[in-house]
C-alpha cells in the first residue's frame, strides 16, 4: 500500500511515519510537508530511504493533485497547530487548515482515493472542571480559538465532501498528545526543556486547566485502527483517560528531573483559555477494539523526559527563539 502523509515532518506525523515504517513493512510512505518552523526533516532522518520527503504546500493544487494520483491513501496531519500562535496571527491557520484541507479533498474526490482526517478535541470547546461529562462523537461543535475554529471548519468540509460527493473518508478527534519530536513551543516539551536549560517552568494563570493526555504512539495506533477497520464517513474520538491539571503535570516533570515541587512560575494566562478537555473513547474501543499501549501517564512522561535529555541537538536550535516570543506576551 502507498500512503501519503501530510505534515509528516511535524510532531504527530513524524511519529506516525516512524511507527508505519517499523510495523508495516509493506507500506510505502511519501511525506508532503511545507517544512514550516514546526516541520523538522531531521525527525525523519533515522529512516533514510524508507521514506520519500516532498517539500511543498497542501494548498498547492497542482502538486497535491499529482501526489494524490500516486497514492492509495492520504493521512492528513498537516496544520498550523499552536493556539498561542493563532492568537497572534490567525491567517496561516485559515490558509493551511481550511484551504489546505479543501485542496486535498478536491484531489481525493477527483481520483477516488481513501482519506483519513486528523483533528482535535478542541473543536468541541471546553468543559467545566466539575462537569461529570466528557466529549463524545455527538457533542456539538463549539470551538474557542482561531486554531480550533479552523480545525472545526476543516472537519465540516470533510463531512460535507462525504455526504455530497461520496468520498471515502474517516475522521478522528484526539486529545492532547505528548512524546518525542514535539516542538518546544508546546506545554510539556517547553517545561521539560526549561528545566534542562535552567529555566523555571511557566504555568498559565493558576495552572488549574485540565488536559486529557495521550502518548503520541497511542494516537497513531488508533489512527491505523480506524483506517483498517473504521466505517466510511464515521468520526471516532481518540483518548486514553489521561485527565490531569497543568500544575500536576509540571510537578511530575519537576519530580522526574529531581527538582523541588514548587520550582515553577505562574505567568499571564492565555486569552480565551479553554478550561478542560476530556474524551470518551468508548466508540473506538468497543466498535474497533483499540486499547492504548501507554496506560500510565507517569511512565510515558518519564520516557519523554529521557528523550529530551538525550536529544538536545534536536531541540536546542529552536529554544531561544521560542522563549523570546513567550517573553513578549509575559509568558
Closest approach, Cβ 236 to ligand NAD, in A, equals: 13
Residue number, 117 or 190, with CB nearest to ligand TDX: 190
Binder to ligand TDX among 43, 149, 150, 176 (CB under 6 A)?
176
Residue 187: which of ligand NAD, ligand TDX, none does it interact with, CB under 5 to 8 A by kind? ligand TDX
Residues in CB range of 72: below 8 A, 6 or more apart? 1, 2, 3, 113, 114
Count of residues of this chain found to bind ligand NAD when the rule CB under 6 A is applied: 30
Cα–Cα dist 67/21, whole Å = 19
Residue least distant from ligand NAD (Cβ) = 10
x/- binding map, residues 151-190, to ligand NAD, per CB under 6 A? x----------------------x-xx-----x-------
* Run of H or E residues at 49: none
CB of 237 closer than 8 Å to CB of 173: yes
Cα–Cα dist 136/283, whole Å = 9
Tell whether residue 67 is a contact of ligand NAD (CB under 6 A). Answer: no
Binder to ligand NAD among 100, 153, 230, 239 (CB under 6 A)?
100
Residue number, 104 or 203, with CB nearest to ligand TDX: 203
Say how many CA atoms lie within 13 Å of 318 toward its Cβ.
Answer: 20
Cα–Cα dist 24/75, whole Å = 15
Tell whether residue 190 is a contact of ligand TDX (CB under 6 A). Answer: yes
Closest approach, Cβ 73 to ligand TDX, in A, equals: 22
Residue number, 77 or 115, with CB nearest to ligand NAD: 77
Closest approach, Cβ 41 to ligand NAD, in A, equals: 9
Strands 243-245, 210-212: pairing kind: antiparallel
End-to-end CA distance of the chain: 45
Binder to ligand NAD among 20, 28, 39, 170 (CB under 6 A)?
39
Q: Which of 115, 147, 277, 308 is catalytic?
A: 147
Tell whether residue 144 is a contact of ligand TDX (CB under 6 A). Answer: no
Residues shown for the chain: 331
Q: Which of 57, 122, 126, 155 is catalytic?
A: 122
Taking Cα atoms as reference points, which of 79, 81, 73 lies closest to residue 30? 73
- Angle, CA of 110, 231 and 143, to the nearest 5°: 80
Catalytic residue status for 147: yes
Binder to ligand TDX among 20, 43, 81, 220 (CB under 6 A)?
81
Helices marked H in 139-215: 146-165, 187-196
Instruction: Supply the DSSP symbol for 321.
Output: H
**Active site (catalytic) residues:** 121-122, 147
Q: Which residues bind ligand TDX (CB under 6 A)?
A: 81-83, 120, 122, 176, 186-187, 190, 202-204, 209, 211, 246, 270
Amino acid at each position: 500500500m502507498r500512503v501519503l502523509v501530510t505534515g509528516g515532518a511535524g510532531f504527530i506525523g513524524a511519529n506516525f511515519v516512524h511507527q508505519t515504517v517499523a510495523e508495516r513493512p509493506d507500506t510505502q510512505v511519501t511525506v508532503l510537508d511545507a517544512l514550516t518552523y514546526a516541520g523538522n526533516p531531521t525527525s525523519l532522518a533515522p529512516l533514510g530511504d524508507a521514506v520519500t520527503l516532498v517539500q511543498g504546500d497542501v494548498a498547492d493544487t497542482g502538486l497535491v493533485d499529482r501526489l494524490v494520483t500516486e497514492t492509495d491513501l492520504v493521512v492528513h496531519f498537516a496544520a498550523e497547530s499552536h493556539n498561542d500562535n493563532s492568537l497572534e496571527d490567525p491567517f496561516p491557520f485559515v490558509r493551511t487548515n481550511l484551504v489546505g484541507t479543501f485542496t486535498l479533498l478536491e484531489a481525493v474526490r477527483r481520483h477516488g482515493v481513501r482519506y483519513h482526517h486528523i483533528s482535535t478535541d478542541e473543536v468541541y470547546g471546553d468543559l467545566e472542571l466539575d462537569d461529570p461529562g466528557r466529549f463524545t462523537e455527538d457533542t456539538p461543535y463549539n470551538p474557542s480559538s482561531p486554531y480550533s475554529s479552523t480545525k472545526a471548519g476543516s472537519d465540516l468540509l470533510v463531512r460535507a465532501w462525504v455526504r455530497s460527493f461520496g468520498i471515502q473518508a474517516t475522521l478522528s478527534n484526539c486529545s492532547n498528545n505528548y512524546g518525542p519530536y514535539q516542538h518546544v513551543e508546546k506545554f510539556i516539551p517547553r517545561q521539560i526543556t526549561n528545566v534542562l536549560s535552567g529555566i523555571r517552568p511557566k504555568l498559565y494563570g493558576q495552572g488549574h486547566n485540565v488536559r486529557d493526555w495521550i502518548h503520541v504512539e497511542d494516537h497513531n495506533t488508533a489512527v491505523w485502527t480506524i483506517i483498517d477497520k473504521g466505517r466510511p464517513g464515521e468520526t471516532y474520538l481518540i483518548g486514553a483517560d489521561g485527565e490531569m491539571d497543568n500544575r500536576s503535570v509540571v510537578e511530575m516533570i519537576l519530580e522526574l528531573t529531581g527538582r523541588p515541587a514548587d520550582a515553577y512560575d505562574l505567568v499571564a494566562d492565555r486569552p480565551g483559555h479553554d478550561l478542560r478537555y476530556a474524551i470518551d473513547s468508548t466508540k473506538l474501543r468497543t466498535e474497533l477494539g483499540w486499547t492504548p499501549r501507554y496506560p500510565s501517564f507517569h511512565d510515558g512522561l518519564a520516557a519523554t523526559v529521557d528523550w529530551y535529555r538525550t536529544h538536545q541537538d534536536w531541540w536546542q536550535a529552536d529554544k531561544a527563539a521560542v522563549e523570546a516570543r513567550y517573553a513578549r506576551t509575559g509568558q
